Each structure stands twice: as C-alpha cells, then as structure tokens.
C-alpha cells in the first residue's frame, strides 16, 4: 500500500521532472494527472494511485511549497465536487477516461441540470422528458438555478424516462453537451445584480445513450451520489481558522474600535465559536470520508453553513452601520465563480441569502438529518406509490 513517505517521494520526483517555474501550466497539470497525483484515491490511469484519500494532503503540501499551479478549483468546483465522483462510481471505463482528465485539468467546465421551475425542493418531481430514439435520447424541458451554465461545456442532467412509475423510479441520469443544438442558456438576474445562475431550455436535444450514467430508471440513485458530494463540497470545504465569512467581521472588529458595542461583541463571540465548531466538524467529516462515500452528515454541514453565513453577514452589516449599506456594483455581471472574500459586506449579505436554497434547501436538509441521522419517523407521503403522470401539478 502506498504510504505518506512514498507519495512524498513521488511528488518530489515529479517536481524535479516538471519544474513549475519552467513548465507551461496546462502541461504541468496534465502531467500531474497522468502521474496519479491529481486525486490520489482514484484508480491508476484516472488521476490517482489507489491510495488512501487522506494522503492527498501530503501531495498537495509538496506541490504548494514548490509553487506549483493549481487547477482553479473554484472555477471548476461542480466538475470536481459533483460530476467526478458520480462518473467514477457509475460511469463506464470509456466515460471515465473521456471525462475525468479534461475535467480535473480544467479544460472543460461542468454545470448541474437538476432543479426545475416546478420541481425545486421536490427534485424527484422533475418533468424534463427524455424519450429514447434508437441509440439516442431526445430531451425536452427546462432547468433553473444552473450555476455557471454560461461557461460550461458539459452538464450532469437528470430527466424523466418513464412517467408511468412513481416519481423516484422513472428518472435517468445523463451527461449533456452544452454546445449541442437545442440547448439555450439564459441569465437569471439575482438579488446581487449579477447572473451567476441561469435557466436552461432543452428543445429536442439529442443525447447519445453512451452518455447515460447508470441504468435506465436508476437516475435517482445516481443523483444521490451527486447530491451528497455537493453538500459536502458546499458546506464542508477546508478553511483555516477565521476563514469564511467570520474573517472579515473579526478583522473589522479588531481594526475599527469605534464600531464596537457590547451587544455586537456578545453576538460576534457566539458566532465566532460556532464558526470554529463548524470548521472542526468539517475536518472530522473529511476524515470520515476517507473510509467511503459521503453520507447524510454532509447535509448537516451544509445546513449549518447556510445559517452561519446568513447570521454572520447580517452581523457584519450591523457592525459597519451606514457603510454596510453601500454596494459596489449593480451591473449585470456574469461571474464564473462566487467570490465572498473579495467583495464588500453588502454583496456578502445579499449573496448569503442563496445559501439556504442552493445545493438543497434547508427545509429538505432538515428532513434528511431528522430521518437519516437521527432516525426519526419519515413525514407522511401521499405520493410515494403514485405514478408520476398521475400526480397533481
């Protein structure tokens, strides 16, 4: 079994053969993938070495110390955090080899075509249809809240392939080429004035059956892998102490004594402790992930992440007073990534409102934690055994 010393040696040998200062960025990243140092817990030939997930930190530390370029993980976060683990688990060998390398290197951006106007929180009620025509599927429907669709080449897509069975059973999972005819992306202007989200219209889009992930009708099972990884990637990202939104508030408190009040001090202390607890809980969750796939615990992390962000950004506005009402830019920008750290307090406050919706609404996540973590009884379901076509819409 590969151990830390062996991985450290491999990383050092790789750096000697590909000096970051003289190796072109794209060539360096491709060589890193081919050397198995991209994500070490993936199989050999797919960017990894079949090593324990925990040893990735050993490789990352060696490369970071040498000034190696990264693959801009924030820009390709949906691909790295959601598409890749789903492809690895359910994809064919051909799919894995076709998609994983350009995904990790950052040559191709991915987006997620899940939510719909009539099936947001109740994702399994989705109505986008995929009808088989020989070796292709013809897809028609509309998706919404699609982050980064305007910059994406590929999308992970779930569509209804059998309306005659209950809603969770008639769904199939596909990889959709966003450049195909019939794919139309329209911006959604958000409360921040920007449009990182989109609505996507699919009109007679033809997807080859070779781009189907998993079995026909098993899309909900496949999607659970995506969703669990999504919640971990949103709520369980590795951050340093005073990372995230608590950092700017703590910095303003230290540097601006004229803004301080007793009430704000007490609230800041409470939120600082909660942020630190969330950070350490995230570390423990990542250690648990070493043993297998993410489970419902990620939903709890994402739930806490949303609440904390909204409370902390609200406190920051109160601390800054009139300054907090200023907002730098209301123009219709189309950012490819979300940048909480490099923006002003007004942006953080407004953008944090979306944290309790994206990646699973807080209400849905509360149900998941209640039922799958705490073992509480499920809520009554009247649609569980009803064919999707017979549901009221």
Catalytic residue positions, numbered: 230
Report residue 23 CA to chain centroid gap: 30
The widest CA-to-CA distance across the chain, in whole angstroms, is 71
Separation between Cα atoms, residue 115 and residue 139, nearest integer Å = 15
DSSP 376: P
Report residue 40 CA to chain centroid gap: 20
Residues 6+ away with beta carbon under 8 Å from 65: none
Separation between Cα atoms, residue 185 and residue 183, nearest integer Å = 7
Paired with 119 in beta bridges are 116
Separation between Cα atoms, residue 168 and residue 293, nearest integer Å = 21
49 neighbors 8 (Cβ within 8 angstroms):
no
Work out the burial of residue 134: count CB atoms within 10 Å of its CB; fewer than 13 is exposed, 13-18 middle, 19 or more buried.
exposed
- Angle made by CA atoms 309, 315, 321, in degrees to the nearest 5: 135
The candidate with the shortest Cα–Cα distance to 113, out of 60, 34, 185, is 185
The candidate with the shortest Cα–Cα distance to 86, out of 217, 220, 210, 179, is 220
Burial of 80-97, coded b for 16+ CB within 10 Å and e otherwise, reads: bbbbbbbbbebbeeebbe
385, two tokens: 């055994």
CB count within 10 Å of CB 353 equals 15
């Amino acid at each position: 079994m590969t151990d830390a010393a062996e991985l450290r040696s491999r990383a050092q040998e790789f750096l000697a053969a590909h000096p970051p200062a003289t190796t072109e960025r794209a060539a360096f990243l491709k060589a890193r993938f081919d050397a198995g140092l991209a994500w070490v817990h993936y199989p050999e030939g797919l960017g990894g070495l079949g090593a324990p997930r925990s040893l990735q930190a050993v490789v990352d530390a060696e490369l970071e110390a040498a000034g190696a370029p990264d693959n801009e993980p924030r820009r390709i976060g949906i691909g790295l955090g959601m598409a890749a683990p789903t492809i690895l688990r359910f994809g064919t060998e051909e799919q894995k080899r076709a998609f994983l390398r350009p995904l990790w290197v950052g040559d191709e951006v991915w987006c997620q075509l899940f939510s719909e106007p009539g099936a947001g929180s109740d994702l399994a009620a989705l109505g986008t249809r995929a009808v088989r025509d020989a070796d292709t599927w013809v897809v028609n429907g509309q998706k919404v809240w699609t982050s980064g669709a305007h910059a994406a080449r590929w999308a992970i897509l779930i569509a209804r392939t059998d309306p005659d069975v209950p809603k969770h059973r008639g769904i199939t999972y596909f990889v959709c080429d966003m450049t195909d005819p019939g794919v139309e992306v329209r911006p959604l202007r958000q409360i921040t004035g920007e449009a990182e989200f989109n609505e996507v219209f699919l009109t007679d889009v033809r997807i080859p059956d070779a781009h189907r992930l998993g079995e026909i009708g098993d899309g909900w099972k496949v999607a659970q892998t995506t969703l669990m990884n999504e919640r971990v990637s949103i709520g369980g990202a590795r951050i340093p102490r005073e990372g995230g939104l608590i950092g700017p508030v703590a910095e303003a408190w230290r540097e601006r004594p004229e803004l301080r009040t007793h009430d704000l001090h007490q609230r800041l202390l409470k939120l600082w402790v909660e942020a630190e607890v969330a950070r350490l809980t995230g570390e423990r969750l990542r250690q648990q992930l070493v043993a297998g796939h993410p489970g419902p615990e990620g939903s709890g992390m994402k739930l806490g992440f949303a609440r904390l962000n909204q409370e902390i950004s609200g406190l920051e506005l109160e601390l800054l007073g009139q300054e907090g009402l200023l907002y730098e830019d209301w123009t219709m920008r189309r950012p490819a990534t979300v940048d909480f750290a490099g923006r002003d307090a007004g942006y953080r406050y407004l953008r944090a409102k979306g944290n309790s919706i994206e990646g699973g609404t807080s209400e849905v996540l509360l149900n998941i934690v209640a039922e799958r973590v705490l073992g509480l009884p499920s809520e009554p379901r009247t649609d569980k055994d009803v064919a999707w076509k017979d549901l009221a819409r």
